Amino acid sequence: MSSITPKELLEVRQYVYSFLSTTFRCPPKAEQLEIILQEGIFLDFPLELEEDNYTQALQTLEIWAKEQSQADIKDVCTSLNRDYTQLFVGPGHLPAPPWESVYRSEEKLTFGEHTLAVRKWYARHGLEFVNKNAEPDDHFGLELEFLAYLINNQYQTLEDGEVQKASELAQEQLAFLEEHLLQWSNAFTQDVINNAQTKYYQGLAQLAQSFLEWDHGHLKEEVNS
């Protein structure tokens, strides 16, 4: 990874978490796809890592983008919406249910103890999911969004010169990764890779897991330094 300042790295990490959160929270709209394809996001992704799975994921996404270069954007959108629905929404059996409780509870049900534990994390930082009790708080995309939120707060505290508070927010990110996301992300993303019908979701799943693993190592170094 090229040398960047700590604040710049926070900005990049927040971008990656926010980008991944958006892609897993809802299917893409035509205008979003146009930006992704026209700007070549995956060719010039803001975080450069020398990690095999990470680079393979970006290569998969680059191939997907090239394959869509002459396609009608509406057709691309329809294909990805279909894939998103069969993976994460249903009806029927979901090959990759996007909720922590399903992967971590014996009953494989949502709104379990892990959902409530994640909800407490959000509440501790003054957050409440707008669809609380209608949709589980432990959705993969929401957990990614929460980490983006913590990173943004860390950036702001550094801007304000609150070094101790910034350090505490880094510790919070590490703890949330270890207690929640990394407890189930590998199984979830592997289910996406194995069941997705498009290179787009296969690549995103591999990108997400490889990034989470890298970020975990990065945070451990930061917290223990």
- pLDDT bracket for residue 1 (50, 70, 90): low
What's the mean pLDDT in 191-199?
Answer: 98
pLDDT for res 4: 86
Least confident among 50-64, 131-145, 205-219: 131-145
Percent of the chain with pLDDT over 70: 97
Chain segment 99-136, per-residue pLDDT in tens: 999 999 988 888 889 999 999 999 999 998 766 666 89
pLDDT at 2: 56
Q: How far apart are CA 42 and CA 207, in angstroms?
A: 11
All residues at 6 or more sequence positions from 13 whose CB lies less than 8 Å from its CB, including other chains:
47, 151, 215
Mean pLDDT calculated for residue range 16-36: 95
Mean pLDDT of 21-26: 96
Q: Does residue 3 carry a pLDDT above 90?
A: no
Topology of the domain covering 6-25+52-224: TorD-like (1.10.3480)
Domain boundaries, the chain: 6-25+52-224
Convert the pLDDT of each residue in 70-80 to its tens digit.
899 999 999 99
What are the CA-CA distances from residue 90 to residues 111, 147, 192 (Å)?
18, 27, 14
Sign of CA dihedral 133, 24, 140, 125: negative
Q: Which two tokens stand for residue 60?
A: 């998969």
**Average per-residue pLDDT in the chain?**
94
Encoded amino acid at 37, one letter:
L
Predicted local confidence at residue 133, as pLDDT:
63
Q: Is the pLDDT of residue 175 over 90?
A: yes
Is residue 57's pLDDT more than 60?
Answer: yes
pTM of the model: 0.95
* CA–CA separation, 57 and 206 (whole Å): 5
**What pLDDT digit, counting tens, does each position of 150-169 carry?**
999 999 999 999 999 999 99
Q: Which of 32-36, 51-55, 183-187, 196-200 shows the lowest per-residue confidence on average (mean pLDDT)?
A: 32-36
% of the chain beyond a pLDDT of 90? 89
CA distance 115 to 139: 9
At residue 154, the pLDDT reads 98
